[in-house]
A = this chain, B = another copy of it.
Amino acid sequence: MEANGEQYAANFSSIKEAQKRISLYIHKTPVLSSETLNAMSGRSLFFKCECFQKGCPLILYFKTSGNHAAALSLAAKLRGIPAYIVIPKNAPKCKVENVVRYGGQVIWSEATMHSRESVASKVLEETGAVLVHPYNDGRIISGQGTISLEFLEQVPLLDTIIVPISGGGLISGVALAAKSIKPAIRILAAEPIGANDAAQSKAAGRIITLLETNTVADGLRAFLGDLTWPIVRDLVDDVITVEDKEIIEAMKLCYEILKVAVEPSGAIGLAAVLSDGFRKNPAWQDSKKIGIVLSGGNVDLGVLWDSFRK
């Protein structure tokens, strides 16, 4: 697929190829719905539970969101090669534990993107390792695009899909595949106000990065990359930004009504669809059958509880 004469890092063929490669190893993730949440939102909502994706290394490698570090650790372990995982000091404890559990070697960086990248460069230099970027990589984008293939097969009538946006890998794959199958489908990004680089980038027409981020959704603090930005620019129809308190409220609803244990990042799609900004915007009144990708799989119960008490 091309736009502005530019070739994207992934396309419908690479996504179908990814699906073929991983289909032996995965089951479809279920789609859940709830009359209560439909009534609250005034739409028909369909939740694609990517958070249940199984712990197979091939899947985790190519169809992951929020588990990149653990996934690579496991994939490397099974191949008998070392994995060096650069982790910022403010990462949730459970993410670090998962890396260690799967045999990855933790290399600490400061919390800034700059520190993460310079530490990663140093590791590459010293070890001869190859960088596998968590989102700015055509293979990752293609794998995540398989979510749309499944989702539209399970719920063909979707007119809109809402996807959390961070570095843009997940939404790029979802948008590429969904718009290939169903060109008129609307793809909306959900982003925390405290890490709204995608909203700012879309408004400016170029990649904007932020000096700092401030959100409870730790999985959504990354910035768009040079491979994901063109896809987000061209294929994502708009970005809905939400407050942290809306994310926490949506996370509670996921637990109490859907019975799905998501991290804050995973619940942001529900937060978006329930937000006044979305509900009252005339532009989105015709989004009636909305798919919401529940991503992410690092539930840190300590942090969870702290956030519920805020």
The 23 sampled A-B contact pairs (Cβ below 8 Å) are A30-B30, A30-B52, A33-B54, A34-B54, A35-B56, A36-B55, A49-B259, A51-B259, A52-B260, A94-B256, A252-B301, A254-B261, A255-B261, A255-B299, A256-B261, A256-B301, A259-B297, A259-B299, A260-B260, A261-B261, A301-B305, A301-B308, A305-B308
Residues of B within 8 A of A34 (CB): 54-55
Residues of A whose CB lies within 8 Å of any CB of B are 30, 32-36, 49, 51-52, 54-56, 94, 252, 254-256, 258-262, 297, 299, 301, 305, 308
Per assembly, the copies of the chain total 2
**Given the complex, which residues of B lie within 8 Å of A33, measured CB to CB?**
54
A35: B residues at CB distance < 8 A: 54-56
CA of A308 to CA of B252, assembled, Å: 17
Contact of A262 among B259, B299, B308 (CB under 8 A): B259
- Is the pair B52, A259 in contact by a Cβ cutoff of 8 Å? yes
Instruction: Name the 9 nearest CB pairs between A and B, nearest first.
Output: A30-B30, A255-B261, A261-B261, A259-B261, A51-B259, A35-B55, A305-B305, A256-B299, A255-B299
Residues B32 and A52 in contact, CB atoms below 8 Å apart: yes
Contacting residues, chain B, for A52 (C-beta < 8 A) = 30, 32, 258-260
